[in-house]
Chains A and B, each alone.
Chain A
Amino acid sequence: MLFILILIIATIAQFFLPWWVIMLVPFLLTLWKGEKGNHSFFAGFVAIFISWLIYSLILHFRTDGILTGKIAEMMMIKSPMLLIFAGSLIGGLAGGIAAITGTYLKQLLLERI
């Protein structure tokens, strides 16, 4: 559930807001719906990873990979696919960390109440 929510909301939000909504959205959603830390991390990580991976692949194939090869060379990464994969991994990690933060904060707040 959390995973689906993050995936949908974060993906939509990214069309309008800066890149860091991939941290803000998982944080807010886990603050609301998060339960266990490791579950939340996983939900945040996979949701953002997929959100980035799929859109990257769409843009890559739609433009015949005209730019991904050049950027891979610039960043000294062997192939465009590796670049897209590594990029999505980075996005996923940021989402996952934010998700776990939200969950822990929620647990702390619940305890205090």
Chain B
Amino acid sequence: MKIFRVLFTFILSAAAFYALNNKQGVIPPLGKFLSPYQGYLQNAERKKVTAEATLQIDGLTSEVTILYDNNMVPHIFAQNDHDAYYAQGYVTAKDRLWQMDFQTRFASGRISEVIGGRAIELDRYKRRIGMGYGAEHSLKGMMKDPKIKAEVEAYTEGINAYIKSLNRNTYPLEFKILDYKPEPWTNLKCALLLKQMTATLAGSSEDFYMTNILRKYGPQVVKDLFRDYPFREDPIIPVGTQWAFNPIKAPEVPQSFIAQMTDTLTAQEKIEGIGSNNWAVSGKKTATGMPILANDPHLDLTLPSIWYQVQLVTPQLNVYGVSLPGAPGVIVGFNRDVSWGVTNVDADVLDFYQIKFKDNKKNEYWWNNRWNPVKKRIETIAVRDGKTITDTVIYTHHGPVVYVENAQKPGASFAEQVPVGHAMRWVAHDESDELATFYTLNRAKNYADYREALTHYSAPAQNFVFASNQNDIAITPNGKFPLKWKEQGKFVMDGTDPANDWQGWIPANQNPTIKNPERGFVSSANQSSTDTSYPYYLNWEFAPYERAARINRRLSEMTKITVDSMRLLQYDNYSVNAENILPTLISLVDQHKLDTEQKKAFDVVSQWNKFYNATEIGATIFDLWYLNLRDAIWADDFGGQEPLMRYPSRDRTVEIILHEQNSKWIDNVNTSKKETLTDLVNQSFKSTIDSLTHQNGAQGKKWEWGYIKNTTVPHLAKINGFGSKHLFNGGSKGSIDAMNQHNGPSWRMVVQLGQKVKAYGVYPGGQSGNPGSYYYDNMINTWSEGKLNELVFLQNAGEADSRIISKLKLKK
């Protein structure tokens, strides 16, 4: 009898141990996790930080002093480059290790290892678009460059020194929640992180949708609705700028393409939101007589933040700015002499080629009038609590065939843009050395250094804005741009014809650029790089022009510019789109047919000041009204799932509303009635008000734009409770303050050059990646309110500054 009692309690104990020591579904292992001696409570930190500490770590060549300011930004003072990057790796890992691990796992298709079978299709996609393949090539480029090799290796060593210091109690919180251990960092992970930036900023393609449209409607409609240059534009390089170079010959447009274009052979506009602003004003226009530079890159906002502030000081270097956790150096920032910033260039650097295989074995494909062997790359995806999967990816000389057959392509939105049976040619697959650009910019002293730095850069292409102490300002849409014939890659291409291949590159020194223009400022907001006179083809479509138009208008008007007026411009919520079309829309509304609620809303939107401020109800009404009207015009013609198409651009939509009101596209082809623009405007207005009333009750506080837009900053892995609370703020996709629900200005910076550089900046988050730290999200309100922190730019480690709250010495 007693033996059964023992057996029973023993089994019960074993079961309890097993249940509490292992993750159950998404529930963390409760014993480990809830134990105050080992679990989450070990990650809770006091607000007051240790004033002074010394650590002995292996691998340094001499002592490093790190001063933390009141936002816990590390200011690293080292004797040489190696120690500076080593310490950068160390402190970045100390604050952001889990984020670094997770982002590089995401990039390389290794999420299933951590969360199990749910992520297999995502991992497979990342493998099949060649993220690992591209990162390996990139790393090769980095390792060929001795100074970058040393930089990356020191950074990796520093990260690993931190990882080695951890134990089960001190693992970052998310490792405990997801129940896995940190693994050693590698140089390849630095490359993967940079590839992920390219995937985010230059990894989308319209080719598939455009080809479907071409097949359905023919070339005339494409030419009419999907034009190669907008009807309204304010390009980065001002109109009429002369090109100071002799262009090399672009390839001929192949006969087959001409034939395609003359022959009678859940959709959206191009998704907006990942955009950015930057500008620099010359000393002629500022109060101090020295240039001011401003930059706010827009990205998906997360906690921990994508950016990490750092200052790096050695006898040869003193740079401050934001870094990407996982890459050494400063990406956007300033030093004593210069400042620089970036926005994305929407160049077309990703094309799809239709592949003709010899047979079902798919070992050979037709190209250049002969059969060519494919290469196969085996991808191994480990799955937590599951079987390891192997996946063979076919590579042609173009690149990987992402999905060979329909059955391989998942329904998930991340794969939507990929045409089946096509090889992907993507600049991110090529050898590159982007870090060399940042290495040089971090040390730049003048305009010549800036120009030299840019020649090393491949992808994602950026508009590099620049200002210097010598009162130079400049901007350069810069990257490695394929030398294309006009419209090459607007549609998927025939992969058998070498004329469709990329034929070389635009010479780096012939990328569009301008220095000290007459107007006294340079700027960019992702719009067209140039007017139509630029001798090379970059893309047929860029981001809409409205943000740029507002920036350029304001900068033209402004004089005696100060840091604060630049701050206010970054936070400007004015809508040029509303200015352009709202008067027309209002004039078309038949007020007599509105009910009381609709009339009340009509009065509000008519009197709206066109600012997307948080409290504006007019902004809410206009925003939804425009989207509904746009759907009313295009959904019948370009919506639906089969075939997948996309809407014409906002530019074209606006042009039709203003100037082509009798366009045949206005009519809804699904009804027998022939609709006019007036019909659509009235219908969409009423349905907008009805749905707002339905969802939010009668017009009132809940209709205010700040509530409707509902900005929050979620956790990187969307863990409940770890995101921000609702942030009541203004902004919109088309405003300079391009804030929307979960993406917007990921870093706002304003730098005043001069004898003593003064800089300001903030990002929505905090330096610590630990949800148990006060510094996890301490800057978020400052950011949401449109304020900036003065950045603490120190000259030496002994400098007394009241904002320094903690000192960490690393001894060898």
Which residues of A are at the interface with B, using a C-beta cutoff of 8 A? 14-15, 18-20, 22-23, 27, 52, 55-56, 59-60, 62-64, 66-76, 87, 90-91, 93-94, 97-98, 100-101, 104-105, 107-108, 111
Q: Which of A15, A64, A97 contacts B37 (CB 8 A)?
A: A15
> Known: A70-B771, A101-B9, A108-B3. Is A19-B39 also a contact (CB below 8 A)?
yes
Would B46 and A63 count as touching, CB distance under 8 A? yes
Would B47 and A105 count as touching, CB distance under 8 A? no
Would B2 and A70 count as touching, CB distance under 8 A? no
Would A18 and B38 count as touching, CB distance under 8 A? yes
CB distance from A71 to the nearest CB of B (A): 5
CB distance from A73 to the nearest CB of B (A): 3
Q: Which of B439-447, B714-722, B751-759 contacts A (4 or more CB under 8 A)?
A: B714-722
Would A74 and B41 count as touching, CB distance under 8 A? no
Across the A-B interface, the 6 shortest Cβ-Cβ residue pairs:
A73-B721, A87-B34, A67-B772, A63-B44, A14-B37, A19-B35
Q: Which of A20, A60, A66, A111 contacts B774 (CB 8 A)?
A: A66
Determine whether B17 belongs to the interface, using a CB cutoff of 8 Å to chain A: yes
> Known: A14-B35, A74-B720. Is A104-B41 also a contact (CB below 8 A)?
no
Would B5 and A19 count as touching, CB distance under 8 A? no
Task: Give Cα A23–Cα B32 distance, bound, in whole angstroms.
Answer: 12
Would A20 and B17 count as touching, CB distance under 8 A? yes
Q: 9 new A-B pairs (CB below 8 Å) besides A19-B32, A20-B20, A108-B6?
A: A14-B38, A23-B17, A59-B41, A59-B44, A62-B46, A68-B44, A90-B31, A105-B10, A107-B2
Determine whether B57 belongs to the interface, using a CB cutoff of 8 Å to chain A: no
Residues of B within 8 A of A22 (CB): 31, 35
Q: What 1/0 mask marks residues of chain B from 741 to 782 whose CB sits below 8 Å from any chain A CB?
A: 000000000000000000000000000000111100000000
Q: Which of A64, A67, A100 contacts B47 (CB 8 A)?
A: A64
Q: Which of A20, A27, A91, A107 contacts B21 (CB 8 A)?
A: A20
Determine whether B640 belongs to the interface, using a CB cutoff of 8 Å to chain A: no
CB distance from A45 to the nearest CB of B (A): 12
CB distance from A103 to the nearest CB of B (A): 9
Would B720 and A52 count as touching, CB distance under 8 A? no
Q: Which of A19, A66, A72, A100 contacts B31 (CB 8 A)?
A: A19
Would B41 and A19 count as touching, CB distance under 8 A? no
Q: What is the chain B residue whose CB lies nearest that of A19?
A: B35
Residues of A within 8 A of B35 (CB): 14, 19, 22, 52, 87, 91
Would A52 and B36 count as touching, CB distance under 8 A? yes
Task: Give Cα A18–Cα B206 distance, bound, in whole angstroms.
Answer: 53
Would B168 and A90 count as touching, CB distance under 8 A? no
Task: Give Cα A87–Cα B41 distance, bound, in whole angstroms.
Answer: 11
Q: What is the chain B residue whose CB lies nearest that of A98?
A: B13
Determine whether B40 belongs to the interface, using a CB cutoff of 8 Å to chain A: yes
Would B772 and A105 count as touching, CB distance under 8 A? no
> Known: A23-B17, A68-B44. Is A90-B34 also a contact (CB below 8 A)?
yes
CB distance from B382 to the nearest CB of A (A): 25
Q: What is the chain B residue whose CB lies nearest that of A71?
A: B40
CB distance from B181 to the nearest CB of A (A): 13
Determine whether B222 belongs to the interface, using a CB cutoff of 8 Å to chain A: no
Would B771 and A100 count as touching, CB distance under 8 A? no
CB distance from A81 to the nearest CB of B (A): 14
Residues of A within 8 A of B720 (CB): 73-74, 76
> Known: A56-B41, A94-B20, A97-B13. Is A63-B32 also a contact (CB below 8 A)?
no
Residues of B within 8 A of A73 (CB): 720-721
Instruction: Say what secondary structure dominates the interface of chain B.
Output: helix
Would A55 and B37 count as touching, CB distance under 8 A? yes
Q: Which of B39, B41, B719 contacts A60 (CB 8 A)?
A: B41
Q: Which of B2, B21, B168 contacts A104 (CB 8 A)?
A: B2
Q: What 1/0 mask marks residues of chain B from 691 to 722 whose CB sits below 8 Å from any chain A CB?
A: 00000000000000000000000000001111
Would A66 and B9 count as touching, CB distance under 8 A? no
Residues of A within 8 A of B644 (CB): none
**B27-54 interface with A by 8 A CB criterion:** 27, 30-32, 34-47
Would B34 and A91 count as touching, CB distance under 8 A? yes
Task: Give Cα A107–Cα B212 distance, bound, in whole angstroms.
Answer: 79
Q: How many residues of B contact A (CB 8 A)?
A: 41
Q: What 1/0 mask marks residues of chain B from 151 to 164 whose CB sits below 8 Å from any chain A CB?
A: 00000000000000
Determine whether B568 belongs to the interface, using a CB cutoff of 8 Å to chain A: no
> Known: A90-B30, A104-B2. Is A67-B43 also a contact (CB below 8 A)?
yes
> Known: A52-B36, A59-B36, A71-B721. Is A97-B16 also a contact (CB below 8 A)?
yes
Residues of B within 8 A of A69 (CB): 721
What are 17 A-to-B residue pairs whose CB atoms are below 8 Å? A14-B37, A19-B35, A20-B31, A52-B34, A59-B44, A63-B44, A63-B47, A63-B772, A66-B45, A66-B773, A67-B41, A67-B44, A70-B771, A75-B27, A97-B12, A97-B16, A105-B10
Residues of B within 8 A of A90 (CB): 20, 30-31, 34
Task: Give Cα A21–Cα B46 distance, bound, in whole angstroms.
Answer: 27
Task: Give Cα A101–Cα B9 distance, bound, in whole angstroms.
Answer: 5
Task: Give Cα A72–Cα B45 distance, bound, in whole angstroms.
Answer: 17
Would B2 and A108 count as touching, CB distance under 8 A? yes
Q: What is the chain A residue whose CB lies nearest that of B32?
A: A19
CB distance from A64 to the nearest CB of B (A): 7
Residues of A within 8 A of B38 (CB): 14, 18-19
Residues of A within 8 A of B9 (CB): 97, 100-101, 104
The listed residue with most B CB atoms (<10 A of its CB), out of A22, A64, A101, is A101
Would A94 and B12 count as touching, CB distance under 8 A? no
Task: Give Cα A108–Cα B1 distance, bound, in whole angstroms.
Answer: 9
Would A23 and B16 count as touching, CB distance under 8 A? yes
Task: Give Cα A85–Cα B40 distance, bound, in whole angstroms.
Answer: 15
CB distance from A33 to the nearest CB of B (A): 17
Task: Give Cα A94–Cα B42 distance, bound, in whole angstroms.
Answer: 20
Residues of B within 8 A of A98 (CB): 13, 16
Residues of B within 8 A of A64 (CB): 46-47
Residues of B within 8 A of A67 (CB): 40-41, 43-44, 173, 771-772
Q: What is the chain A residue whose CB lies nearest that of B43?
A: A67
> Known: A62-B46, A90-B20. Is A70-B39 also a contact (CB below 8 A)?
no
**B158-187 interface with A by 8 A CB criterion:** 168, 173, 177
Residues of A within 8 A of B774 (CB): 66
Task: Give Cα A94–Cα B37 distance, bound, in whole angstroms.
Answer: 15
Residues of B within 8 A of A93 (CB): 16
Q: What is the chain B residue whose CB lies nearest that of A70?
A: B721
CB distance from A43 to the nearest CB of B (A): 15
> Known: A91-B35, A94-B20, A107-B2. Is A70-B722 also a contact (CB below 8 A)?
yes
Residues of B within 8 A of A107 (CB): 2
Task: Give Cα A74–Cα B34 distance, bound, in whole angstroms.
Answer: 13
Task: Give Cα A95–Cα B764 distance, bound, in whole angstroms.
Answer: 44
Residues of B within 8 A of A23 (CB): 13, 16-17
